[in-house]
């Protein structure tokens, strides 16, 4: 299966006073793609919140900036599931500009928890099956 990806145009509100992508906004941009991905595989946030069977908080996040992004730059963001464990999964992200240059990378680790007591639980089988379809060797 092809990796999950989408394009994003850097907007003025994404940048800092120097007109460069503000560091925290790289996380917001990749999280938007993550939300789209969850919706695509049948686990949109609204559905998960309404059902309250499990939540999927982020327990680790990191990013690197390889090249400045400015207002109007268009990047393709690619999401890859790279590891699925008993209670968690890891996603990597690559941001590439229109010339094909890597502009940034990010990684998030997500864990499934019981909404009532916030304790870790095993990944639900239906979520695991959907994530398995997208595993890559990043």
In the chain, the domains with their CATH numbers are 4-132 (3.10.129.10)
The band of 43, judged by pLDDT with boundaries at 50, 70 and 90, is: confident
Which pTM was predicted? 0.91
Please write the tens of the pLDDT for every residue from 84-112: 999 999 999 999 999 999 999 999 999 99
The answer to whether residues 55 and 123 touch, using CB atoms and an 8 Å cutoff, is: no
Query: Is residue 24 predicted with pLDDT exceeding 70?
Result: yes
Query: Is residue 82 predicted with pLDDT exceeding 70?
Result: yes
pLDDT attached to residue 138: 54
The SS3 assignment for 74 reads: strand
Q: How far apart are the first and last CA of the chain?
A: 14
- Mean pLDDT over each residue of the chain, to the nearest integer: 92
User: d(Cα 54, Cα 23) in Å, to the nearest integer?
Assistant: 30
Residues β-bridged to residue 94: 78, 105
User: d(Cα 119, Cα 101) in Å, to the nearest integer?
Assistant: 41
Q: Among residues 75, 80, 65, which one has the least CA distance to residue 99? A: 75
Q: Please give the average per-residue pLDDT across 28-32, as a whole number.
A: 95
Query: Is residue 31 predicted with pLDDT exceeding 90?
Result: yes
| Catalytic residue IDs | 16
What count of other Cβ atoms lies within 10 Å of the Cβ of residue 96? 20
Query: Is residue 44 predicted with pLDDT exceeding 80?
Result: no
pLDDT attached to residue 106: 97
Of the chain, the percentage scoring pLDDT greater than 90 comes to 80
pLDDT attached to residue 64: 96
**Sequence-ordered strand ranges (E) for 4-73:** 4-9, 58-65
User: d(Cα 136, Cα 80) in Å, to the nearest integer?
Assistant: 6
CA 90 to chain centroid, in Å, comes to 9
Give the residue ranges of DSSP H helices in the chain: 23-40, 45-51, 125-132
pLDDT attached to residue 63: 96
């Amino acid at each position: 299966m092809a990796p999950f990806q989408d394009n994003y145009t850097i907007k003025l509100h994404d940048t800092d006073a120097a007109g460069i992508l503000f560091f925290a906004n790289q996380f917001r941009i990749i999280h938007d793609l993550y939300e789209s991905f969850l919706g695509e595989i049948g686990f949109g946030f609204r559905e998960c919140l309404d059902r309250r069977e499990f939540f999927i908080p982020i327990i680790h996040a990191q990013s690197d900036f390889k090249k400045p992004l400015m207002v109007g730059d268009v990047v393709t963001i690619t999401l890859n599931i790279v590891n699925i464990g008993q209670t968690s999964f890891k996603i990597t992200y690559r941001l590439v500009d229109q010339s094909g240059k890597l502009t940034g990378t990010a990684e998030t680790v997500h864990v499934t928890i019981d909404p009532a007591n916030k304790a870790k639980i095993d990944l639900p089988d239906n979520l695991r099956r959907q994530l398995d379809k997208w595993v890559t060797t990043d």
